[in-house]
């Protein structure tokens, strides 16, 4: 059987037979270095650079997705004031929202005119033109708690989950509205897969009860809004997910993408034929500290434990920093194809 990369992903997500297990490289942050750029604010405003960098990384790593990062744009539309390191993902800077009244005043009516949004829409169109229907094109952003923390500050957000629940409900609801508003434009431009990651609402930050009450309804609203576009959807709960593993499927996301703290073979059995699962590769221990032999050995073990050859995607357990060696990502892709064709 020979499949295009895009056919392989679609089949795996729908529990159909595949030639190889698909592999998502999380390779975007390494791209700027390949074209002599840094991962910084200028880069996210430069559609030509993002297009070149993503296509160069795709050619180099040869995995099964091209994933563009919408999170800087979403945060800019929300008015977040970020700290931009010299060469890394932007970080929280200072709070910009202090009350429920200020949440109500957030104005997204011009979101499409935002310069980051414009640059990313152009990038999606250009990449779609270059790759056609061969490869899945993903647009990824943060979930509601990650974004709320960028506006309120993490301490205020977490304190408000006890002391000011109406503020949390309102800010998450409005953030979900913005994400749904933007989604159709990215699908029209060529995105096949819409995704969110939300470590701030994972059990590493809040209790499962608070997650169920304050985060899950708005993560679900976001994913259900994404589904209205016709695109596939992915949700990454991002951090110690076992205590909420009975809840994450309620979002309805086609792909549940877990951190390395969840065993991929266990997740695959829990969600068999209901959801596809993704993950299985430790970004720190395997990809950062390991070499190509470590990567090969770990992938052999992970893939060997899988009960089914479909319904699963191999993927680093979280977003990568730009300092991961590209050789290790290539080794992850090669090992996935080598060991999954034996299954
Ligand atoms: Zn993560």
Whole-prediction pTM = 0.97
What is the overall mean pLDDT for the chain?
97
CA 48 to centroid of ligand 1, rounded, Å: 27
In this predicted structure, the answer to whether residue 160 has a pLDDT above a threshold of 80 is yes
Overall average pLDDT of the 231-240 stretch: 96
Q: Where are the domains of the chain?
A: 5-340
Q: Which residue has the tokens 């909420």?
A: 244
Residue 80 near residue 151 (C-beta atoms within 8 A) = yes
- Reported for 156-161, long-range contacts at CB under 8 A and 24+ positions apart, including other chains, are 156/95, 157/200, 158/205, 158/206, 161/206, 161/210, 161/214
CA 204 to centroid of ligand 1, rounded, Å: 11
CA 316 to centroid of ligand 1, rounded, Å: 9
CA 237 to centroid of ligand 1, rounded, Å: 7
CA 231 to centroid of ligand 1, rounded, Å: 21
CA 125 to centroid of ligand 1, rounded, Å: 27
Residue 40 near residue 84 (C-beta atoms within 8 A) = yes
CA 282 to centroid of ligand 1, rounded, Å: 11
pLDDT band at 343, cuts 50/70/90? confident
Encode the chain in three state secondary structure.
Answer: CCCCHHHHHHHHHCCCCCCCCCECCCCHHHHHHHCCCCCCHHHHCCHHHHHHHHHHHHHHHCCCEEEEECHHHHHHHCCCEEECCCCCCCEEEECCCCCHHHHHHCCCCCHHHCHHHHHHHHHHHHHHHHHCCCCEEEEEEECHHHHHHHHHCHHHHHHHHHHCHHHHHHHHHHHHHHHHHHHHHHHHHCCCEEEEECHHHCCCCCCHHHHHHHHHHHHHHHHHHHHCCCCEEEEECCCCCHHHCCCHHHHCCCEEECCCCCCHHHHHHHCCCCCEEEEEECHHHHHHCCCHHHHHHHHHHHHHHCCCCCCEEEEECCCCCCCCCHHHHHHHHHHHHHHHCCC
pLDDT band at 342, cuts 50/70/90? confident
**CATH number for domain 5-340, candidates 1.10.10.60, 3.20.20.210, 3.30.365.10, 3.40.640.10:** 3.20.20.210
pLDDT tens track for 22-45: 999 999 999 999 999 999 999 999
In this predicted structure, the answer to whether residue 2 has a pLDDT above a threshold of 90 is no
Q: Are strands 81-83 and 193-197 parallel, antiparallel or unpaired?
A: unpaired
CA 2 to centroid of ligand 1, rounded, Å: 32
Overall average pLDDT of the 224-231 stretch: 98
Overall average pLDDT of the 320-343 stretch: 94
CA 198 to centroid of ligand 1, rounded, Å: 7
CA 320 to centroid of ligand 1, rounded, Å: 9
Q: Are strands 136-142 and 193-197 parallel, antiparallel or unpaired?
A: parallel
CA 238 to centroid of ligand 1, rounded, Å: 4
pLDDT tens track for 98-147: 999 999 999 999 999 999 999 999 999 999 999 999 999 999 999 999 99
């Amino acid at each position: 059987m020979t499949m295009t990369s895009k056919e392989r992903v679609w089949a795996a997500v729908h529990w159909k037979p595949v030639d190889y297990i698909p592999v998502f490289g999380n390779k975007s942050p390494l791209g700027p270095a390949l074209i002599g750029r840094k991962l910084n604010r200028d880069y996210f405003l430069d559609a030509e650079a993002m297009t070149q960098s993503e296509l160069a990384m795709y050619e180099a790593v040869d995995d099964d997705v091209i994933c563009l990062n919408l999170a800087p744009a979403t945060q800019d539309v929300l008015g977040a004031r970020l700290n931009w390191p010299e060469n890394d993902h932007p970080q929280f800077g200072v709070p910009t929202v202090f009350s429920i009244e200020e949440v109500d005043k957030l104005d997204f009516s011009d979101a499409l005119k935002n310069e980051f949004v414009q640059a990313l829409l152009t990038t999606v169109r250009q990449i779609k033109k270059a790759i056609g229907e061969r490869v899945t094109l993903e647009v990824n952003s943060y979930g509601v708690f990650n974004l709320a923390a960028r506006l309120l500050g993490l301490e205020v957000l977490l304190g408000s989950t006890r002391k000011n629940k109406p503020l949390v409900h309102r800010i998450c609801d409005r953030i979900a509205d913005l994400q749904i508003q933007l989604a159709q434009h990215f699908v029209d431009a060529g995105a096949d897969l819409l995704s969110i990651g939300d470590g701030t609402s994972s059990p590493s930050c809040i209790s499962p009860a608070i997650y169920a009450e304050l985060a899950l309804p708005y993560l679900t609203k976001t994913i259900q809004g994404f589904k209205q576009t016709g695109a596939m959807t992915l949700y990454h709960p991002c951090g110690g997910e076992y205590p909420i593993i009975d809840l994450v499927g309620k979002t309805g996301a086609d792909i549940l993408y877990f951190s390395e703290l969840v065993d991929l073979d266990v997740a695959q059995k829990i969600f068999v034929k209901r959801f596809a699962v993704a993950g299985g590769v430790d970004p720190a221990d395997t990809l950062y500290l390991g070499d190509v032999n470590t990567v090969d050995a770990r992938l052999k073990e992970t893939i060997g434990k899988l009960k089914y050859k479909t319904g699963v995607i191999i993927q680093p357990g979280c977003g990568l920093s730009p300092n991961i060696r590209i050789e290790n990502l290539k080794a992850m892709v090669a090992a996935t194809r080598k060991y999954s064709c034996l299954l």
